[in-house]
Amino acid sequence: MPAYRAPERGDHHTVARRIADGVSILAERLQRLPRAYPNWHPFDPAAYFDLFPEQVAALVRIERLGATLDVTIYADLLSPAFRRAERFWAQEFCPAYFASGQNDAFDHHFQQRTLPAMQRRLQEAREEIALAADILFQRGDVAFLSVSAALDERISHLHRLPQQDPALLDIYHNLPTLTLSRSYDILEMMRDAAKTWPHEKGRVFPPT
């Protein structure tokens, strides 16, 4: 969608501002979700967040456990540099990595070309995401600040890292991310929505 689209190339600050604008829109909609969710039967994340269904599958995770609704938005995907790194990882890095242990020529290619290329793309993604996050912080974007899930995301994946490598842990804790997340009490959302719905003969009806 145009509101979330940043140019693939160009001035770094211009690209980062466009990413920040898109993240801000998603954060604001995530913050307003309790007022909208009770009126959707069933809830349609594509329509609500103004995304294509294919984008929802990649960007949005919605989990309902009892009366709790957890919504996570992987907004790093709005970064063109992040998407380039992801494509390179899937199309080039992984095949080269698995082939490198089978032949000296493959190993040389992986070490001399594929690995440095992956590192460059990751660094570009980190810088682009960090710049977009800095813009949001400098703006004092309340919606973003209230639903930013950077710390929660790092904690949730911490068990995947080798604990004996302090340098790697330090890098991991300083990785920038634009992930957004919030948990909601569904019953509380429904009670709040009922207060604003029209009443008929003493009963509460949602709008049609």
Cα separation, 35 vs 196, in Å, equals 10
- Predicted TM-score of the model (pTM): 0.81
% pLDDT > 90, the chain: 49
Count the neighbouring beta carbons within 10 Å of the beta carbon of residue 199: 9
- Report pLDDT for 156: 54
Cα separation, 24 vs 49, in Å, equals 12
| Mean pLDDT, rounded, for 162-176 | 57
β-sheet bridge partners, residue 200: 203
Output the CA angle 145-150-154, nearest 5 degrees.
160
Domain ranges of the chain: 2-80+126-204
Q: What is the chain's alpha carbon radius of gyration, rounded to the nearest angstrom?
A: 21
**Is a pLDDT exceeding 50 seen at residue 202?**
no
Listed range (46-50, 88-92, 145-149) with the worst mean pLDDT? 145-149
